[in-house]
Amino acid sequence: MRKILPVLAGALAGILTVSAAQAMQDISIFNYPPVDPSTQQTEPEAAPIPREIVDYDGAYAPGTIIVNTEERRLYFVLPDHQAMKYGVGVGRPGFEWKGVHHVASKREWPDWTPPAEMLKRRPDLPLHMAGGIDNPLGARAMYVSGTLYRIHGSNEPDTIGQAVSSGCIRMTNEDVEDLYDRVKVGAEVVVE
């Protein structure tokens, strides 16, 4: 018992200085009886929502972005009565919005500075984060004029198809790169 106490004390001290995920890994070494990973339940991975070309007979001109928040899909209008359809994540309850704006600017691997409103709700967020794979804005961002919102990639691709954002329109990095290459600054953005 005397040999075990220093080991436990050291492990507990280590838990206090590491992330919650690392702490859970550290704690798992104390599971008894040993856990067989093959018997553990895991949540199924979210199936990606494939982008596809669909027929379009609406009134918007080619080059327009239409976000159907209820359907959680984004349509980029193409010539010849077609549109590219993408799966998106949208604003969670209380953060939904609608309107007609335009793409004010575009950025590759954008930096992220959370707006003051978000920092007030989430003081644990960084004041600024350089662009990169861990950045919540993902690989590309298109800034929506007159708003704090963006159409952007995500470091959480499993949230695509859900209403979980603070109002931004999230896409997988692969899809946002495809859309980014198609969209011009000034393109109309319709969120309905």
Instruction: Tell me which residue has tokens 């553990």.
Output: 40
- Between the alpha carbon of residue 102 and those of residues 24, 33, 97, 169, 185, the distances in Å are 45, 59, 15, 14, 8
Parallel/antiparallel/unpaired status of strands 140-144 and 99-108: antiparallel
Residues of the chain with CATH 2.40.440.10: 52-191
Confidence of residue 188 (pLDDT cuts 50, 70, 90): very high
- Using one digit for the tens of pLDDT, what is the confidence trace for 32-77? 333 343 333 334 444 579 999 999 999 999 999 999 999 999 999 9
Claim: this prediction has a pTM higher than 0.85:
no
Does residue 17 have a pLDDT over 80? no
- Of the two residues 186 and 27, the one the predictor is more confident about is 186
Q: At what angle do helices 20-28 and 4-16 cross, to 10 degrees?
A: 160
Does residue 152 have a pLDDT over 70? yes
Pick the catalytic residue from 101, 102, 128, 168: 168
Residue 27's pLDDT is 28
- Between the alpha carbon of residue 165 and those of residues 15, 97, 171, the distances in Å are 31, 11, 11
Note the CATH number of domain 52-191. 2.40.440.10
Residue 88's pLDDT is 98
Residues in the chain: 192
Annotation marks residue 81 as catalytic: no
Question: Residue type at 44?
Answer: P
Instruction: Choose among 183, 173, 150: nearest CA to 84.
Output: 183
Residue 47's pLDDT is 55
| Separation of alpha carbons 115 and 136, rounded Å | 13
Token pair listed for 173: 């990095």
Does residue 186 have a pLDDT over 70? yes
Annotation marks residue 152 as catalytic: yes
Pick the catalytic residue from 81, 101, 102, 152: 152
- Using one digit for the tens of pLDDT, what is the confidence trace for 70-109? 999 999 999 999 999 999 999 999 999 999 999 999 999 9
| 11 membership: H or E segment, kind and range | helix 4-16
- Using one digit for the tens of pLDDT, what is the confidence trace for 113-146? 999 999 999 999 999 999 999 999 999 999 999 9
Instruction: Choose among 77, 73, 47: nearest CA to 157.
Output: 47
Torsion-angle region of 23 (φ positive above 0: left; ψ -120 to 50: alpha; else: beta): alpha
Residue 42's pLDDT is 36
Is the CB of residue 154 less than 8 Å from the CB of residue 172?
yes
